């Protein structure tokens, strides 16, 4: 890397670290607007840093420098109390409940059966303590259990998520090198403000999902189909939606991966099956709260369709069926057209991104796993989506989702430019493919 670019990159890293400290100050003052302004400013500096390193930088010194800045950004955030979400308190609670020999899908935290576990530090901060059992799949619950055996504290749980980030970065560096890409592209994930605030800050379990997903991509790269199925099952058992990647990682006529994937899912749920179908936890209730039900108010694209008089009567069920058909067609095309001599990242990126846009989650951390794909494929659309999603914090969150003009405007600011940039990305790669013959 040229000296001028290296100096600019170092300056960008220093600015990001300084802005992290400023963001923590605004968090301590409970000033969400100024905190969000800092996070968006970080996003701008981050994008400049990505541009500086995209095609230039594989030296060990550069990668270590990127890792150092990432660590300096995360350390102070790790020790700060959660600000953007209280989900991590549920993680600690679930670990405590399992350690006591209780099925976490059986009782809500406020149930009298769990009175002996209710403390003044964790229990009062659990959201939906009176109404919801856990929503998290079995491997997430195992992670919570292991984390709380080290310490039943929020900081320990957040540290576990940063640990998964370290694992993810290790796989990411190996995959970039194996694909002949500059290892410096690890900066796309390492300096991104979204995982900084959502994983080191809020301790979201999605950090583990990303580590398992990258492990699955690594296994496919090594032609270990069974191992890929195991790791993809791990990602799915952490948060359910990575299952959409199965068609991208599947090798046609190879049965090891789907068999291991399905078998692992079944085995993981067996210890909790005593509650019957309630093993799905709060997932159905959560889907209803967020508007992902028959009404469909939670789907952004359906909200747009409802602005057109001829389509104002389209139901959430009809939209969900249409979205499922789109994903099924894309999945079939991915399987049939996959070149097994090439990495499956492009197919995985298309499936993951399409799924997220069709569902349009209401919280920024759900978009974090998409950052990984931007390390391998030049995509202005993905970089925009994963940074602009921070704007979702401008939308008030209640116990039940409400689709109003303010939310529609914020989501349009996120998805409108994304759509334009996605078209530009497709044009760019189609032109490059045509020129390459």
What is the secondary structure of 113-168 as a DSSP string?
GGGGG--SSSGGG-TTTTT------HHHHHHHHHHHHH-SSHHHHHHHHHHHHHHH
Distance CA 83, CA 349 (A): 30
As given in the structure block, the two tokens for residue 64 are 């270590």
Q: How many residues does the chain have?
A: 437
Phi, psi at residue 191, to the nearest 5°? -100, 5
Which region among 99-113, 178-192, 225-239, 418-432 has the lowest average model confidence (pLDDT)?
418-432
Q: What confidence tens digit (pLDDT) does each residue in 333-380 have? A: 999 988 877 889 999 999 999 999 999 999 999 999 999 999 999 999
User: How does DSSP classify residue 179?
Assistant: T
| 372 and 430 Cβ atoms separated by less than 8 Å | no
| 209 and 369 Cβ atoms separated by less than 8 Å | yes
Distance CA 274, CA 330 (A): 37
Q: What is the mean pLDDT of the chain?
A: 94
Phi, psi at residue 8, to the nearest 5°? -65, -40
CB-based burial label for 111 (10 Å; 0-12, 13-18, 19+):
middle
As given in the structure block, the two tokens for residue 362 are 């209401």
Q: Could you tell me how far CA 198 lies from the centroid of its own chain?
A: 9
Quickly tell me which residue has 């990001």 as its tokens: 16
> What does the pLDDT read at residue 436?
59
As given in the structure block, the two tokens for residue 156 are 């320990």
> What does the pLDDT read at residue 269?
97
Q: What confidence tens digit (pLDDT) does each residue in 68-97 have? A: 999 999 999 999 999 999 999 999 999 999
> What does the pLDDT read at residue 154?
98
Distance CA 297, CA 250 (A): 34
Q: Look up the pTM and report it.
A: 0.95
| 355 and 292 Cβ atoms separated by less than 8 Å | no
Distance CA 128, CA 131 (A): 5
- Total tally of structural domains belonging to the chain: 1
| 229 and 255 Cβ atoms separated by less than 8 Å | no
> What does the pLDDT read at residue 84?
92
Q: What is the mean pLDDT of residues 269-284?
A: 94
> What does the pLDDT read at residue 56?
79
Q: What confidence tens digit (pLDDT) does each residue in 136-167 have? A: 999 999 999 999 999 999 999 999 999 999 99
C-alpha closest to that of 182 among 45, 69, 53, 64: 53
Q: Could you tell me how far CA 44 lies from the centroid of its own chain?
A: 20
C-alpha closest to that of 104 among 274, 236, 238, 290: 274
C-alpha closest to that of 391 among 37, 28, 18: 37
Alpha-carbon separation of residue 136 from 121, 165, 340 (angstroms): 21, 19, 33
Q: What confidence tens digit (pLDDT) does each residue in 390-415 have? A: 999 988 765 556 667 888 999 999 99
Distance CA 141, CA 157 (A): 12
Q: Per-residue confidence at 437, pLDDT binned at 50, 70, 90?
A: very low
Range of the domain at 85: 3-435
User: What's the chain's Rg over C-alpha atoms?
Assistant: 21
Q: Could you tell me how far CA 204 lies from the centroid of its own chain?
A: 9
Quickly tell me which residue has 């540290």 as its tokens: 159
Alpha-carbon separation of residue 347 from 95, 180, 192, 332, 376 (angstroms): 35, 19, 23, 11, 12
């Amino acid at each position: 890397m040229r000296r001028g670019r290296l100096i600019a990159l170092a300056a960008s890293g220093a600015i990001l670290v300084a802005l992290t400290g400023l963001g923590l100050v605004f968090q301590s003052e409970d000033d969400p607007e100024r905190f969000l302004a800092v996070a968006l400013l970080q996003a701008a500096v981050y994008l400049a840093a990505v541009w500086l390193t995209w095609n230039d930088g594989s030296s060990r010194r550069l990668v270590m420098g990127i890792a150092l800045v990432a660590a300096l950004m995360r350390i102070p955030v790790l020790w700060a109390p959660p600000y953007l979400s209280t989900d991590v308190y549920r993680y600690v609670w679930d670990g405590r409940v399992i350690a006591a020999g209780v099925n976490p899908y059986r009782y809500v935290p406020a149930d009298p059966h769990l009175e002996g576990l209710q403390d003044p530090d964790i229990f009062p901060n659990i959201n939906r303590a009176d109404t919801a059992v856990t929503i998290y799949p079995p491997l997430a619950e195992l992670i919570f259990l292991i984390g709380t055996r080290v310490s039943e504290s929020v900081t320990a749980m957040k540290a576990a998520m940063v640990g998964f980030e370290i694992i993810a970065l290790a796989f990411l560096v190996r995959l970039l090198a194996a694909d002949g890409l500059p290892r410096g592209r690890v900066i796309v994930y390492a300096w991104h403000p979204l995982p900084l605030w959502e994983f080191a800050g809020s301790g979201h379990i999605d950090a583990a999902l990303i580590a398992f997903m990258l492990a699955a991509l690594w296994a496919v790269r090594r032609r270990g189909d069974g191992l890929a199925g195991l790791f993809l099952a791990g990602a799915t058992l952490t948060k359910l939606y990575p299952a959409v990647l199965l068609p991208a990682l599947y090798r046609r006529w190879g049965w090891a991966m789907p068999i291991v994937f399905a078998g692992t899912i079944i085995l993981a749920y067996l210890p909790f099956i005593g509650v019957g179908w309630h093993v799905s936890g709060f997932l159905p209730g959560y889907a209803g709260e967020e508007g992902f039900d028959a009404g469909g108010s939670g789907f952004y694209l359906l909200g747009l369709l409802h602005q057109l008089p001829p389509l104002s009567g389209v139901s959430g069920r009809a939209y969900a069926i249409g979205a499922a058909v789109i994903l099924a067609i894309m999945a079939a095309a991915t399987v049939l057209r996959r070149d097994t001599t090439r990495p499956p990242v492009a197919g995985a990126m298309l499936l993951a991104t399409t799924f997220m846009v069709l569902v349009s989650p209401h919280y920024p951390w759900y978009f974090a796993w998409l950052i990984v794909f931007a390390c391998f494929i030049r995509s202005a659309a993905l970089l925009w989506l994963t940074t602009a999603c921070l704007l979702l914090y401008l939308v008030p969150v209640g116990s039940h989702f409400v689709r109003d003009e303010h939310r529609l405007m914020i989501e349009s600011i996120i998805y409108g430019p994304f759509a334009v940039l996605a078209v530009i990305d497709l044009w760019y790669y189609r032109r490059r493919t045509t020129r390459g013959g």
